[in-house]
Structure 1
Amino acid sequence: MARSSRSYDWGFPRWRPYGDKREAATVKLCDRHGCEAPGDRPAPKSPNSPERWYFCERHAAEYNRNWNYFEGLNEEEAKQREANERREAAGYADSAHYGWAGPGDGTRSRDEMRALEVLELESDANFESVRASWRRLAKANHPDKRPDDAEAAKRFHAIQAAYDVLKSAEERRQWKPD
């Protein structure tokens, strides 16, 4: 006789017998007294301890807000631990020179980043804000507006040079060869 491959699981109501390949999943409840939400976010019971509390999202946020990393240490021990951890993490700071070299997303050159600094803009500024900042700073430092101020003249030339750098970079980005 041929073997039947027919399934008796047609959705709801449940036609297959209970206990057949599908057991109830155990859900750990939040360790906060009185909370019935699932406790799926582990938190250490004390520093450097393998024991964990399991909280829901709301109570984990509350726990993290009130966490004191230096609990149980006197002031001298806390300073010593902080110094040790900063020393151990210094290797990460020392390796920063392997990065691409500064703020931004890497789409701008070093000259463009310096030009944005001169125009007092963030690294992700668009060209409209570059133009607005250039106009504002150029008007404030123009030699006709401040005829006897040598520092204002230097700033005006720096602002003009920064705008030229950013304008030519924007033109290069706009022009795409076919």
Structure 2
Amino acid sequence: MARHRRSLDWGFPRWRGYGSSREAATVRLCDRHGCEEPGDCPAPKSPNSPERWYFCQRHAAEYNQKWDYFEGLDKEEAAQRAQAEQTENAGYAESAHYGWATSGDGSRSADEMRALDVLGLDSHADFAAIKKAWREKAKEVHPDVRPGDAEAAKQFQTFSVAYEVLRQAEERREWRGS
């Protein structure tokens, strides 16, 4: 004779885990016609509208590909909106002082990453490699080496600014470390 097994759904505490319910989970599908992927990326149906489409990641990327934040604004309005955004985001820049705001692996800021790209270096380059790369590039386009060449002067200035950004960041790191 077969013995009847008691369900684990009785009493308190429940004898099975709370996350292991037997009910079917509701999954919202992508709003793109014919897509069967889960739609977990909300996107506005129109600007300033609370209604949302829900796309999978692939279709959300396609939807946002040509998104223009400043569409329909004249230059002055676009500049005002950009200024307002920059003002609202100033807290992130301020938090960089405390080492909270970082990008990538957390060791370099976005400005430092751009400066490293200008010098043709990887994100993990140490300061000795930065100094060496800056000297090599600066020697090629220095105004004394190429007098009267406006393009070389512009490149020299770009390399110098990139080096200065990285030098100041290194000084901040040393100051914080000591």
TM-score of the two chains, using structure 1 as the length reference: 0.43
Mark the structure with the bigger radius of gyration.
1
TM-score, normalised by the number of residues in structure 2:
0.43
